[in-house]
Amino acid sequence: MRVGASASFFIEKAHSRLVYNFRKRMLMMESDQEFVLEVWRLHPNGIRIVPADKNLLGEAPPAALRWCGPFVYANKAGWWVYPPMDIDIIYKPLDSHGAYHSKYDEEPDCQSINMMKGYFDWRVVKDYRHGEAAVIKRMLQDHHEYRNCRRQLYDFGHVEVNIASIWTGCIFKTPPGWCLQIRSPININMEQPFRIQEGILETDWMQYDIWMNLKFVRYNEWAKIRRNQQYPLAQLVPVRRESYDERWELKDNVLTSSGELKEESETIFNKWNNYNHTKWRTGEKDAATHHKERRKAGVKNKGR
């Protein structure tokens, strides 16, 4: 018994040391990598971009900010993007006053199920002038084959029949393996008749200027878009390429106390049970459970 207990002790100690060294190496790797989003402006007065605010401009409940990690992590992910211009846009159902591009009727590749046909009307309140022309002209050298100095600043019904597009004026660059997901702002209800068409931009290799696509989902409502508006127009969230480009396998199991999944089921169930015991051990919910268990798991909090 003594020999077995001694062996068990040393095995457990060696395992703890391996876990400690693994976490230490992971932390060292993370600290060595620089997490920088580079913004290169073709247009000096393009979009305004700021770090996403976990407080949601003061609208997030204080208790959620203090204790709800999943809510906070989502709020503060990436950057908020504000419009580069002042413009009012409305999407109208078909009538005798407007029409859409014929490609949406004639070309099968441009058609989709539940296509929301209509047409745009807009009024520019403060124009988005061609400030990019001077920048591009200064950068052009003899070996450059693309010589156009002007970019289209906004467009309507070109990407999809109900999409208005606004040029950011910016090129983005991320570290190797990191991309940017463009989407509507997280946990902010802007009460607009559109949402941002989501996309993943592979900005670690693709240095190209980016557009924001506003996909209108309601007719006959003016969307008032302003450079100095309170709420962001879009959010850029950094994502790893492995999150979408690897072949992820889905394993969908029911917890079981027998059979080949018994051991794995017990491991998962024990973690679930321990978390609940920690959360409710006093008879009342311990709101700090998430943060306590996160630290136990070795996750270092570096965020804002």
The Cα–Cα gap between 49 and 82 comes to 6
What pLDDT score was predicted for residue 286?
79
Q: What are phi and psi of 136, to 5 degrees?
A: -65, -40
The contacts of residue 184 (CB under 8 Å, 6+ apart) are 190, 195, 196, 198, 234, 235
The Cα–Cα gap between 50 and 40 comes to 14
252: three-class secondary structure by DSSP: coil
Tens of each residue's pLDDT in the chain, 304 residues: 444 545 544 555 555 565 455 555 544 454 566 899 999 999 999 999 999 999 999 999 999 999 999 999 999 999 999 999 999 999 999 998 888 899 999 999 999 999 999 999 999 998 888 999 999 999 999 999 999 999 999 999 999 999 999 999 999 999 999 999 999 999 998 889 999 999 999 999 999 999 999 999 999 999 999 999 999 999 999 999 999 999 999 999 999 999 999 999 999 999 999 999 988 888 888 788 888 888 888 887 666 6
**What pTM did the predictor assign?**
0.84
The dihedral region occupied by 108, where left means phi > 0, alpha psi between -120 and 50, and beta the remainder, is alpha
What is 38-245's CATH topology? Deoxyuridine 5'-Triphosphate Nucleotidohydrolase; Chain A (2.70.40)
What pLDDT score was predicted for residue 3?
44
Output Rg (C-alpha) for the chain, integer angstroms.
Answer: 26
What pLDDT score was predicted for residue 9?
47
The Cα–Cα gap between 60 and 188 comes to 9
What pLDDT score was predicted for residue 12?
53
In this structure, what token pair is assigned to residue 82? 């504000």
β-pairing verdict for 178-183 and 199-201: antiparallel
For residue 65, give the H/E element and its range: helix 62-67
What pLDDT score was predicted for residue 4?
52
116: three-class secondary structure by DSSP: coil
DSSP state of 108: G
What pLDDT score was predicted for residue 99?
86
First to last CA, the chain: 52
DSSP state of 13: H
In this structure, what token pair is assigned to residue 260? 């080949």
**Domain residue ranges in the chain:** 1-32, 38-245, 262-294
What pLDDT score was predicted for residue 180?
99
The Cα–Cα gap between 46 and 161 comes to 25
